[in-house]
Structure 1
Amino acid sequence: MTVSAGTAGRPRNLVLAAMIFAVAMTFIDQTIVSIAVPQIQRELGLSSTGVQWAVNAYLLSLAALFAFGGRLADTVGHRKMVVLGVLLFAGASAMCGLTPKGGAAEAWIVTFRAVQGAGGAIMFPAALGIVVQTFALRERGRALAIFFGIAGGLTAIGPILGGYLTEWTWRAIFWVNIPVAVIALILIWLSKPVTEHRPAPMDYRGLALIVAGVGLSVFGFQQSQVWGWGNPGIGLCIAAGLALLVVFFFVERRTESPLIQVDIFRIRAFLVENMVLGVAMLVFVPVFFFASEYAQIALGKSASQAGLYLLYFFLGFVVASQIGGRMLDRGGAKRPVTLGCALSAVGFALWAGKVTGLDFNSQMWYVILAGAGMGFMLSPASTDALNRASRLSYGEATGITQTVRNYSASLGLAILGTILVSQFRSRILSSLLAQGMPHAQASATASAISQSSQGGGSGNTSTIPHFIRLDFAYATRGVFYTMAGIMAVAALVALFGLERGRQADPTEEGPGAPADVQGGAAAGPAAPGGADGVGDGGARLD
């Protein structure tokens, strides 16, 4: 049975609003907790490792379970998985806010942060799949530009909201998710989105391999700043995780009903868009952490003021994402994706050149430019990747792209964090030696100060000496220049990897028309049993 997108009398804009509210929580929680870390650690008496995992457990669980969430959406039903994910996420948020003081605090908050991540991993692919199936191909770029524009903006708003809420109580940063979840559930009930799915058995062997592979390697990246890159455990975790992912790839190719149809990577545009997203996400999530630290440490801003600093990045992002979505609908993905990556590279390079002046006004337009570049590329790249999947595998395709994005974000935080710490330590050491401090004492002091900078600051930076602020600014400059180089690489991948022209909608071109004008490949891999369209009798409606 075939149902075209946007039919059945469902108000499409209401569906879009419902899905935006549903995923809003996941984006806010990527960054909101980092602002409240000092208060959480102080009130609950958490160890340094414990507070690190209060942040990392969410991201690790989210990254490891995205593929599982995408498969569930396609086989069980998108609307069911969105509702389940919202309930799971909101329930875990409430429990995080109720974390008791005492010996159980650390295990409690880390556990429920991981449950939050699991809820997000179940919810997000299903929500995005609903949006994709609700809007026709020619309208999808604009719809997903709104979706990703608001979602990306919420990542930036997280630190702002967190800064204000923690002035009342850090527990409010978790409780704020509950009214958002209630609104999302009401909108889902009102809009009653209809999508298609195909029941299929779950590939538990593939699930175990990808969860272990992503989990181990992301764990290694996350712990690099705690244990140090010299610890053999870091290399062992990353190597073991990558090896399991290689095993996963070959196992999936031989599995009758796999967790992920890995043959989807034979579609050139899907492969290239994921390469672009993978490179760009080394920068996109980390920039919020490092810019927030720079604002607090180098510029002496409060936590809430640091959040406002990031608003300029968001302003550029949200405006450009709308333009990029329309460019995708009119002429295909290559132009907005390549242009966005190039603009972002230029923006980060110019921004880096101004951070050592410790004057935000001189940086403002470059912050906006960097954000605009990200806005131009992120929505079109993500949308174009999803457009390559068949209607019955949108959740799976979302699971793949989001796994790539979160994996790269974890890698970016680890690599860029190492660059920041090493350069900050080197600058402080030079400054202390210039002041006449003995080398051994200066080295120990520099190491202690550079490590204490991680975690978003203490919320009281007014007593930081000027030379430390300047040294941190120089370290941040190195990070931003690295970000500029990364985005230049993404621009080259898009320029030489993507092909010009719009993707054709096979439902508009007629039977037998090619589904991918740009790449010459089918719109998605054949579904289990040989069916690759929506007319299969095994398809079900949510």
Structure 2
Amino acid sequence: MTTAPGPRRGALALLASTQLLLIMDTAIVNVALPSVGADLGSGSAGLSWVANAYLITFGGLLLLGGRTADLLGHRRVFLGGLGLLAGASAAGGLAPGAGVLVAARAAQGAGAALAAASAFALLLLLFPDGPARHRALGAFAAMGGLGGVLGTVLGGVLTDLLGWRSTFWLNVLLAAVLAALAGRLLDHRAGRPRPGGFDLAGALTDTAGLGLLAAALVGAPEAGWLSARTLGAGGAGLALLLAFAAVERRAVAPLVPAAVLARPALRLSNALAALAQTTLFPMFFLVSLYLQNVLGYPPLGGGLGLLPLSLVVVAVAPQTGRIIFRLGLHRTMTLGFVLLAAGTLWLALALTPDGSFTGTVLAPSLLLGAALPLVMVTTNVAATAEATAEETGLASGLVNTSQQFGSVLGLAVLVAVATARTGSVDAARAAAETAGHRAALLTGAAFAAGAALASVRLRPPRPVPSPGLKVSGRP
């Protein structure tokens, strides 16, 4: 059913704001970690799990969250995810010690997975495939890019003025506001439940497998890639994912139907979505480290150094639909990956121990800002175009899982490359760290170049007609 433009815009603003909240949360907590450690007396290992617990449950539950939204109702799961996120954030704000805080972060990740998968599915239902969906996905990309920088800035300001606990209470406030707006902007029939059984065995093996694999990846830089902990968690995760594949072949109502995975465009676009994040997510981290550790910027200055990139994302993202219309989906995707590879390569070669933000980082970061929405929007379009109304949560869970694991894998691999290169250079600290950052970014550029070559093979999927999604007509 076609809905009025006004209510649809309101619903889109709500869903895109949810994306901003989830991206912003990760950046805010990362900035606050040193203050958390000083207050709770936690060492570096404990602090790493404050961040990692969120990533593990977020990555492990996205696929299950999307499928659950298909079965129980997208609006209902969306509100449940926001409620869990708010409750867990309150527990984090009151945490008396590091153990409680890590548990709260794990619960936050679970709530974020439910909210993210169902919000993306609601967007797919609200905007059938075509220019309207391209514009909506552009808004999502813009808010995601803005969320990273806004989180870094707010994290520094709130931690300095009100203490690290205020960053968790901000989540409570924003999640409550979004939930209240959802009651007004999304009709109670939005994304209503679909009939079908629940694949319990598939849900358990998939969630446990993805969670263990995420745990192995995020812990590998600290424990070592060949350590017993990394190999044990990674091996167990892969074994459970193989068990999941076996379960799905026999399940009456599989969590991921074989017919869905048989779609070539879906498989390739999910792989490309993962490769995009393998380059993009570590790039933000490495640029911030370079600005702070090598050039001597304060943490807030390191975050603000990414502001020009984010402003370009906000400017280009709404135009992505027009670019797709003029060039075609796969050409726009290839262009995005070429720009991503070129920008990352330029940034890597520009780094010097005595560089400056304007002379070293600014120009290549602007190119990367143009590349980000092109690759994010096109991979999302291709990954979801063939999804029926009954599969929107599943399609959302798959592409979100691909992006999350690309982020985790990219950060683990590129940080390992940077660390190894830094340790092998016999030079002053600034020169050694610069060499490490350069090696990591060159690796990221290679990933992006490989994705550009692979994207040429993409054949535009045929969109599935959608009945549309009802939104509330109330103002």
TM-score range, shorter chain: over 0.9
CA distance in 2, matches of 1:99, 1:124: 25
Q: Is 1:261 aligned to residue 257 of structure 2?
A: yes
Q: 1:498 aligns with which of 458, 466, 472?
A: 458
Q: Deviations 1:396-427 (Å, cap 9, x if unpaired)?
A: 11111111111121111111111111111222
Identify the structure with bigger relative contact order (alpha carbons < 8 Å, sequence gap 6+): 2
Q: Deviations 1:351-408 (Å, cap 9, x if unpaired)?
A: 1111114211122111110221122110121122112111111111111111111112
Matches within 5 A, 1:194-273: 194-273=190-269
Q: 1:129 aligns with which of 121, 124, 128?
A: 121
| Conservation of the 8 A alpha-carbon contact between 1:299 and 1:359 | yes
CA distance in 1, matches of 2:325, 2:154: 33
| Conservation of the 8 A alpha-carbon contact between 1:382 and 1:401 | yes
1:294 aligns with 290
Q: Deviations 1:224-257 (Å, cap 9, x if unpaired)?
A: 1211123133123212212221221231122111
Matches within 5 A, 1:407-418: 407-418=405-416
SS at 2:209's partner residue? helix
Q: Deviations 1:423-451 (Å, cap 9, x if unpaired)?
A: 11222xx13xxxxxxxxxxxxxxxxxxxx
CA distance in 1, matches of 2:21, 2:345: 32
Q: Is 1:148 aligned to residue 141 of structure 2?
A: yes
Q: Is 1:189 aligned to residue 192 of structure 2?
A: no
1:52 aligns with 48
The structure-2 alpha-carbon separation of the partners of 1:278 and 1:45, relative to structure 1 and needing over 3 Å to count, comes to same
1:196 Cα deviation from its structure 2 partner: 4.3
Matches within 5 A, 1:348-387: 348-356=344-352, 357-362=354-359, 363-387=361-385
The structure-2 alpha-carbon separation of the partners of 1:332 and 1:504, relative to structure 1 and needing over 3 Å to count, comes to farther
Matches within 5 A, 1:331-480: 332-356=328-352, 357-362=354-359, 363-427=361-425, 430-431=426-427, 467-480=428-441
The one-letter amino acid paired with 1:475 is G
Q: Is 1:111 aligned to residue 72 of structure 2?
A: no
1:69 Cα deviation from its structure 2 partner: 0.7
Between stretches 48-57 and 256-265, larger displacement belongs to 256-265
1:331 Cα deviation from its structure 2 partner: 5.3
1:45 Cα deviation from its structure 2 partner: 0.6
2:39 aligns with 43
| Conservation of the 8 A alpha-carbon contact between 1:142 and 1:329 | no
| Conservation of the 8 A alpha-carbon contact between 1:199 and 1:540 | no
CA distance in 2, matches of 1:73, 1:331: 34
| Conservation of the 8 A alpha-carbon contact between 2:75 and 2:192 | no
CA distance in 1, matches of 2:420, 2:118: 41
The one-letter amino acid paired with 1:345 is A
| Conservation of the 8 A alpha-carbon contact between 1:95 and 1:112 | yes
Q: Which runs of 4+ in 1 moved over 6 A?
A: 539-542
CA distance in 2, matches of 1:173, 1:472: 30
Matches within 5 A, 1:92-111: 92-100=88-96, 105-111=97-103
1:310 Cα deviation from its structure 2 partner: 1.2
TM-score relative to the length of structure 1: 0.82
| Conservation of the 8 A alpha-carbon contact between 1:90 and 1:181 | yes
1:82 aligns with 78
RMSD in angstroms over aligned alpha carbons?
2.2
The structure-2 alpha-carbon separation of the partners of 1:421 and 1:98, relative to structure 1 and needing over 3 Å to count, comes to same
User: Larger radius of gyration, structure 1 or 2?
Assistant: 1
| Conservation of the 8 A alpha-carbon contact between 2:8 and 2:471 | no
1:312 Cα deviation from its structure 2 partner: 2.2
Between stretches 256-265 and 399-408, larger displacement belongs to 256-265
Greater share of helix? 2
The structure-2 alpha-carbon separation of the partners of 1:215 and 1:247, relative to structure 1 and needing over 3 Å to count, comes to same
Q: Deviations 1:235-294 (Å, cap 9, x if unpaired)?
A: 232122122212212311221111222431211211111011111111222222222111
TM-score relative to the length of structure 2: 0.93
CA distance in 2, matches of 1:184, 1:332: 35
1:330 Cα deviation from its structure 2 partner: 5.4
Between stretches 187-196 and 209-218, larger displacement belongs to 187-196
1:318 Cα deviation from its structure 2 partner: 2.6
